[in-house]
Every structure is written in structure tokens, then in C-alpha cells.
Amino acid sequence: METVFHYDSPLGGMTMAGRGDALTGLWFDGQKYFMSGLTGKEEEKLLPVFGETINWLDKYFAGLATPPVPKTAPRGTPYQKALWDVLSSIPYGGTMTYKEAALETARRMDRKPCPRAAGSAAGRNPILIIIPCHRLIASDGSMGGYAAGVDRKIKLLEAERRARWDISAR
């Protein structure tokens, strides 16, 4: 059974979901695809993985060195999971274009690249911030979309850039 817990971030309320010892979801409340894949009958309680996630998020939002990411188990298609792995390789404070993400995902899967598919898979990322889809930008440098709102995406990127002085500790 899936369990949920609420977190109040500086950018608004967030809901996390987990099963066993793994984080399966982290969304801004009310965002596009909010709690996708859940039934609405989840139990609310503090799992150990939620404690780890809260610690990680507290440090992230404070601009401090974050501990290793909690164990994650996002649900998705093989392509989505491959793209989310690519996103997880984008360095803190860095960015990658949708095209670059599509090319790298295609290389890893030995298939043809499709930037549109990359954008769609990023938009369905169920573990925001920890799987950093906010670090994806358009080829022309514009922000592109973000399921939790472009305003949050900009704030996340700005906060990471301000904290880059401590990047060696990440």
C-alpha cells in the first residue's frame, strides 16, 4: 500500500508518496499530474524514507550541501525511466536542453531521439526536484514548461545558481 506525507516547502506545499523504503512520488500540491498513479486511498504517516526526503529537501531549499538522495522507485515506461536517469545526471546548478536529453536517452536505449517525447516524459516526472526535470531548458535558452509552473522552475534554478559556491560539497 502506498503511503503519503505532506511537506511545506518555501515554494508551496508538497506531497510525497512512498512504498516500503522507497520514494515513489514528490509533487507540488495541485501541479499537473499531481499524485498521478495513486488511488486517493493512501495512508498518511511518516515513513523513514519521508524523513530522509524531508532532510534532503530542507538542506536543498536552504542552499546547503544535500545528503545522498533517498532511495527512489518512480513508476513509468522504460523510456520515461531512462530519461529520468538522464535528468538525474544533470549537475546541481546546471542545465541541459530537451534535445540533449533526448539524444542521451536515445543513445542509452539504442533508438532514435525524439525531443518531444523527452519533454513529455519530463512533464510526467513523479519525483520533482530530486529527479531534476527543472534543469531542462529549450535549445534557445528559454525555460520551456514545468508541471509545477515555470515560475517555480525559475526560482529553483536561481536558488541553485546562488548556492553554487558550495557545489564541491554536493
Active site residues: 133
Identify the H or E element spanning 52.
helix 48-62
Phi/psi of residue 13, each to 5°? -60, 145
Assigned C-alpha cell, 139: 535549445
Three-state DSSP state, 108: helix
Measured distance CA(3)–CA(159) in Å, rounded: 30
- Number of helices (H) and strands (E), helices first, in the chain? 5, 6
